[in-house]
Amino acid sequence: MKIATKLVNFESSPHDLFSPAVTPIYQTSTFVQPSATGGGSYDYSRSGNPTRAVLETQLARLEGASHAYSFASGMAAIGAITRLVAAGSEILAGDDLYGGTYRLLSQILPRQDVAVKYADTSDVDAVAAAIGPQTRLLLVETPSNPLLRVSDLAALAELAHAKGILLAVDSTFLTPYLQKPLELGADLVIHSATKYLSGHSDRTAGVVATKSKELAGELAFTQNAEGTALAPFDAWLLLRGIKTLAVRLDRQQANAQRIAEYLSRHPGLTAVSYPGLADHPGHDLHCRQARGAGAVISLETGSVEASAKLVEALQLFSITVSFGSVGSLASLPCRMSHASIPPEVRRARALPEDLVRLAIGIEDVDDLLADLDQALSRVLKPDVCQRSAPMIAQVGVREE
Ligand SMILES: *Cc1c(COP(=O)(O)O)cnc(C)c1O
């Protein structure tokens, strides 16, 4: 079965007496046990819930994992991963990660006596050099957020395993529809399911999946012990969102490719980054390890003021953190999703302050192109706008 079929074809209500076509929401904290000494299948929803179980079985199946766990948010999922690392050891993390992940690693883990080091994971030699005797876990995003750098997952898995450490991949940008880190050798795959897996900006959720029985046991223990599991209603919403993942992403990345090509030809922009562009430094590697480039594009205008004005001049892109929803969004990562990274660290990591992140939705691409075109010509310098005028004809803006 191909993944688009698996998304809608799954056992949605195992053991339910009435065979409902859609998974019921078991909105209950407790389950009556058959006797004082012997339990039924479930006893307490923090430990297990039938709606969540259907979701987790489906997530494991989509990732090619044996086990998956769903959490109240992506950060709760990443928090559970960090619990795999004992006090006194070290995590090696990518140096371009979601801002909230950086906050957890830099401000919470030191309190638990876990050290964190950072490396550019798109450079396998740099990672090899940074692994130390106490390193237990390598945490990678590819493409990274927000710079869209691509890391070689098969090479990193080989390196990690040669050194006896675990590789965890935050695959939020691509979902199992486009990339399967476990098949490339990763030990753990993480998602902020708030993004594409949900697809509608209507809940937060997180996922961890693995093929290892031992890691699964530890994750289940942490999820129960810390009470971070996804609630039944949110599990139900996520199950519904996942069904349309393939159609949404197909449309979103087709739109994103057209928009990235348009932006890359725009003379007023100083940089445009999208793994689907042939001139992206990670393009070939990305095409080898993923089935598509996703729908997030980064661009630079040369000044923070111009970037802020550009984002504000857009009419079809809402100014919103996050991404992965059906509607297009625009943001300034250094002021929004990555503001928790201190300015000096952003500078040291060459994270441009004028970076604009566009998350492309399922709208008609001609409307999105026309909106970008009007915003760019309003915001960028007049001489640049004149030069960019023929762009409108080139992209075929259409009246409706
Ligand atoms: C959003 C995001 C997270 C955090 O997920 P939440 O659901 O917001 O807690 C983690 N990693 C990446 C790559 C993200 O984009």
- How high is the pLDDT of residue 37? 86
Confidence of residue 383 (pLDDT cuts 50, 70, 90): low
Average pLDDT over residues 193-213: 98
List ligand 1's pocket residues with C-beta within 6 A: 73-75, 98, 100-101, 141, 145, 170, 172, 192, 194-195, 204, 206
- How high is the pLDDT of residue 394? 39
- CA-nearest residue, atom 6 of ligand 1: 74
Contact indicator for 68, 188 with CB cutoff of 8 Å: no
- How high is the pLDDT of residue 349? 83
Share of the chain above pLDDT 90, in %: 88
- Is the CA virtual torsion 22, 28, 34, 38 positive or negative? positive
Q: What is the number of helices (H) and of strands (E) in the chain?
A: 16, 12
Average pLDDT over residues 282-307: 97
CA 242 – CA 249 distance, rounded (Å): 11
384 or 314: which leads in pLDDT: 314
Q: Is the pLDDT of residue 207 over 70?
A: yes
Residue-wise pLDDT tens digits, 47-57 = 999 999 999 99
Q: Is the pLDDT of residue 134 over 60?
A: yes
Share of the chain above pLDDT 70, in %: 95
- How high is the pLDDT of residue 301? 96
- CA-nearest residue, atom 7 of ligand 1: 74
Q: Is the pLDDT of residue 385 over 50?
A: no
Residue-wise pLDDT tens digits, 228-262 = 999 999 999 999 999 999 999 999 999 999 999 99
DSSP states along 314-356: -SSSEE-S---SSS-EEE-TTTTTTTTS-HHHHHHTT--TT-E
CA 359 – CA 249 distance, rounded (Å): 12
- Give the residue numbers annotated as catalytic, written as ranges: 46, 98, 170, 195
387 or 120: which leads in pLDDT: 120
- CA-nearest residue, atom 1 of ligand 1: 192
Instruction: Tell me the pLDDT of the chain averaged across its residues.
Output: 94
Average pLDDT over residues 99-126: 97
Strands 318-319 and 329-331, by their bridges, are: parallel
- What the block records as the tokens of 72 is 């109240």
The CB-side HSE value for 313 (13 A sphere, CA atoms) comes to: 18
- Is the CA virtual torsion 102, 104, 108, 112 positive or negative? negative
Q: What is the CA angle 209-276-260, rounded to 5?
A: 120
Average pLDDT over residues 294-322: 96
- How high is the pLDDT of residue 340? 83
Confidence of residue 390 (pLDDT cuts 50, 70, 90): very low
CA 319 – CA 189 distance, rounded (Å): 29
| Number of other residues whose CB lies within 10 A of the CB of residue 279 | 9
Distance in Å, CA 74 to ligand 1 centroid: 5
Q: Is the pLDDT of residue 213 over 60?
A: yes
Confidence of residue 381 (pLDDT cuts 50, 70, 90): low
Residue-wise pLDDT tens digits, 31-45 = 999 998 877 899 999
